[in-house]
Structure 1
Amino acid sequence: MRPVEVDLALVGFGGAAALVLSALTTPLRVAVIDPAGMDATDSKRRTWAFWTGATDELDPVLDAQWAGVDLFGPSGKKQRLDLSPMRYAMVRSEPIFALAADAAGRLTTHTVVANVGDLVDNGSSVDVLDDGGTSVLRARWVLDSRPVKPARPGRTFWLQHFRGWWVRSETPVFDPESAVLMDFRTPQPAHGVSFGYVLPTSANTALIEYTEFSPRRLGDSAYDVALRAYARQLGVGNVIVDEVEDGAIPMTDAPFERRPSARVVRIGTAGGATRPSTGYTFSAMRRQATQIAELIRTGRDPVPDAAYPRRHLWMDSVALHAWDSGLVSAPEFFERLFLRNPPDRVLRFLDGRTSPAEELALMGSTPLVPMARSAVRNLRHRSAG
């Protein structure tokens, strides 16, 4: 039987694919291929936080937003950072998937429930095969968001790994006016860095997370132990946990192959949307989705630009090596970065939107001598490679 033919196939349906689908405005034939289809299963539920300006098209579906964030340094000192003219915003995955479902209704959308195996690119179209080798459809273009290994090893491979609890407290202990961006009062691992993270939705409710940047994940129970200790530190007494979120995001200077063949384009983390030095991904996924939709609207190939400038990726590589080798304390690095620069400059840097002059100022606020040593080692490593 002749396979279904479409203009665009989205392989894997998570945040990256949902954002692309919801951004599309051009009438075209679309297919979504995923083991769960377009159902918002528990494994797909996420909470995303991102920086944005005074207005944002996602404003109607935000769960919370904050004009300021708190930073607790290694000494325990609290600093309130005014983010103006920006703000920190939180959105849960359910409304993002709902926007994608609305878009699917406007477009001619096929949903295929299958595990995808090979993508066979013949130059003018791509045959999408299931894991049994059967062609399930043919597409002019494929956007693939499935997890993938880097194209080659990098110098440093860490993970941002975390567990979050959506909690209710019997007493009002949270400040709904400010999120806690990084709280370094948590016990620090021997190799890596840990911090707490709090996204309050009211004085009694919040998402609290225990996060580590380190080479490997913890045992399952260790996250709960760390979260209980952090909840006590926050003053949450009889904590009621309504939901649990887990995740592990690559933090590496290893490159990802963003376009494995002529008509297959990777998006999301697989397409380089994850910032190596922080694990932040959502803003870059949105940029990719917006650009892809505009390219399709204007009749061009749906191949988005790199998520971050090459110079930013080099700086991330230097920072990762500095932390991994012990040249620089990551808590000290982030504390100095935020406290010695205007917050909006730091936030734009994390999104890859600063100028070289601003980046020189940012670099100058970090521990200069050990960072310079890391940069020299990085250059030697690249020359040897």
Structure 2
Amino acid sequence: MGCAPVDVDLALVGGGGAASLVLAALARHGVDDLRVAVVDPVHRRGQDRTWAFWDQPGNDLDELLSASWSQVEVVTAEAQRTLDVAPLRYAMLRSAPIYDRVAEAERRLGVIRVAAGADSLSDHGDGVLVGTGAGGPALRAGWVLDSRPRPPDRPGRTNWLQHFRGWWLAADRPVFDPTRAVLMDFRTPQPARGVSFGYVLPVNSRYALVEYTEFSPDLLTGAAYDRALAGYCDLLGLDQARFTVREVENGVIPMTDGPFVARPSPRVVRLGTAGGATRPSTGFTFSAMYRQAEQVAQALSAGRPPVPSPAYPRRHRWMDAVALRALDRDLVGGPEFFGRLFDRNPASRVLRFLDGATTAAEDLAVMRSTRLLPMVAATVGDAVSRVRDRVVPSRRPAWTVPPPVVGTDHPAGPPPRGRGQLR
């Protein structure tokens, strides 16, 4: 006969960024009277990813940041914009200090670690039975927070990916401006279908993360990412003979209007991308994950169910669906679309919009900054597609997001002078 399940109040299935932020928030809010378990075959430590996000200075992340900037650049072939994002900041957070904070939180909370994957989640209404593989113990949890990567519950009308490769560059002389980050540089060659841009996050004048990113339906080969990165370094005037690639980061993030169901059963709650934290129009995820973690901890501290609010307002998800359709059908060009957003709105408004924090009046101002006829065409097309999907739901093609694998490089082969990593 098998062993009896281990009883816990809360089980975190998946131990990545979303679960880490929840554990840190539980410790910060003094929620130390719960039995908590983490179910994940990997115990994450060290630098395995980098998060970039914007927020208000003066919170518990301040001491963990690798760098932050009050100015960012958005560059197109026609203009180089230096934008003041105050009162916000653009920030970079590497994983090691988060994992260190989580290790301390686990000690304080007495967390049980189950080094196995969750084979099944059986929600009985008053609790969830978590089946684990590899000989791990079964758990009986009052609530489950599931942050494992997964595709949307059904394919969207537009299904793109944000996919990227970044090099951590160490230069032999000062070449970076540490006072500002490059948020989007659209001078990169644009793909036949999609949008590409470069990205620079300087830690100091000699060390920075330089990244090539695409918003498009299909991944590239490893060699193609490296060629694109080398070309972007040339565009920046960086002599490849004078820098060393210390680390390499890769990632794939869904950009889709397909639905991510945040509460698939009464006592199972999804977090992170699986719970709708990824903004479809940009792929940014961290700020919404952080909000979810805070709301979960506050709810548990008050004796309420750990169910966060939707990551973004419904009207923002609709606006993202229209924007993705306009880009996918080539009704607007990516550089022009994003350039107009920043040209015709204060930078802080655009960033708050992308975080889901703008008012309806501000949303109208954002909408007015786009070209009217293409967006009307995209809006009508989106409405027609929604009606068709309700009439004939099976018309949508099958689609999945390739799940990220931490600690491995892109299948095309090893990166130059570095080690494969995933944001």
Instruction: Tell me which amino acid in the other structure corresponds to 1:255.
Output: P
Per the alignment, residue 93 of structure 2 pairs with 91
Per the alignment, residue 309 of structure 1 pairs with 313
Within-5 A mapping of 1:31-46? 31-36=37-42, 38-40=43-45, 45-46=48-49
Within-5 A mapping of 1:219-238? 219-237=221-239, 238=242
Instruction: Tell me which amino acid in the other structure corresponds to 2:61.
Output: L
Contact 1:127 1:135 in 2 (8 A): no
Within-5 A mapping of 1:18-167? 18-24=20-26, 25-27=30-32, 28-36=34-42, 38-40=43-45, 45-75=48-78, 77-131=79-133, 136-167=138-169
Per the alignment, residue 402 of structure 2 pairs with none
- Measured at CA, do residues 312 and 133 of structure 1 come closer, stay the same or move farther in structure 2, by a change above 3 Å? farther
Deviation >3 Å, runs of 4+: 131-135
Task: Please say which of residues 55-64 and 316-325 is displaced more in the overlay.
Answer: 55-64
TM-score normalised by structure 1 residue count = 0.97
Q: Could you tell me which of 176, 179, 182 is aligned with 1:180?
A: 182
3-state DSSP of counterpart to 1:201: strand
- Measured at CA, do residues 222 and 298 of structure 1 come closer, stay the same or move farther in structure 2, by a change above 3 Å? same
Using the alignment, how far apart are the partners of 1:215 and 1:176 within structure 2?
33
Deviation at 1:4, TM superposition (A): 1.3
- Superimposed CA distance per residue, residues 38-86 of structure 1 (whole angstroms, 9 cap, x where no aligned partner): 33267xx1111111123222001110010100111133x2110011111
Correspondence 1:344 to 2:341: no
Per the alignment, residue 374 of structure 1 pairs with 378
Q: Could you tell me which of 241, 263, 273 is aligned with 2:245?
A: 241
3-state DSSP of counterpart to 1:152: coil
3-state DSSP of counterpart to 1:55: coil
Using the alignment, how far apart are the partners of 2:260 and 2:134 within structure 1?
26
Instruction: Tell me which amino acid in the other structure corresponds to 1:39.
Output: R
Deviation at 1:384, TM superposition (A): 2.1
Q: Could you tell me which of 263, 269, 272 is aligned with 2:267?
A: 263
Task: Please say which of residues 321-330 and 236-245 is displaced more in the overlay.
Answer: 236-245
Deviation at 1:106, TM superposition (A): 0.8
Instruction: Tell me which amino acid in the other structure corresponds to 1:113.
Output: A
Q: Could you tell me which of 308, 316, 323 is aligned with 1:319?
A: 323
Instruction: Tell me which amino acid in the other structure corresponds to 2:38.
Output: V
Contact 1:273 1:281 in 2 (8 A): yes
Q: Could you tell me which of 261, 277, 282 is aligned with 1:278?
A: 282
Task: Please say which of residues 245-254 and 127-136 is displaced more in the overlay.
Answer: 127-136
Contact 1:159 1:214 in 2 (8 A): yes
Instruction: Tell me which amino acid in the other structure corresponds to 1:243.
Output: E
- Superimposed CA distance per residue, residues 133-153 of structure 1 (whole angstroms, 9 cap, x where no aligned partner): 975211111100101121112
Deviation at 1:11, TM superposition (A): 0.5
Deviation at 1:215, TM superposition (A): 0.3
TM-score normalised by structure 2 residue count = 0.88
Contact 2:116 2:136 in 1 (8 A): no
Structure 1 stretches lacking a partner, 5+ long? none
Deviation at 1:156, TM superposition (A): 0.3
Using the alignment, how far apart are the partners of 1:195 and 1:98 within structure 2?
32
Aligned residues: 381
Instruction: Tell me which amino acid in the other structure corresponds to 1:185.
Output: R
Using the alignment, how far apart are the partners of 2:7 and 2:303 within structure 1?
19
Per the alignment, residue 395 of structure 2 pairs with none
Correspondence 1:215 to 2:221: no
Contact 1:284 1:351 in 2 (8 A): yes
Using the alignment, how far apart are the partners of 1:171 and 1:117 within structure 2?
51
Aligned-residue Cα RMSD (Å) equals 1.3
- Superimposed CA distance per residue, residues 273-297 of structure 1 (whole angstroms, 9 cap, x where no aligned partner): 0000000000000000000000101
Deviation at 1:171, TM superposition (A): 2.5
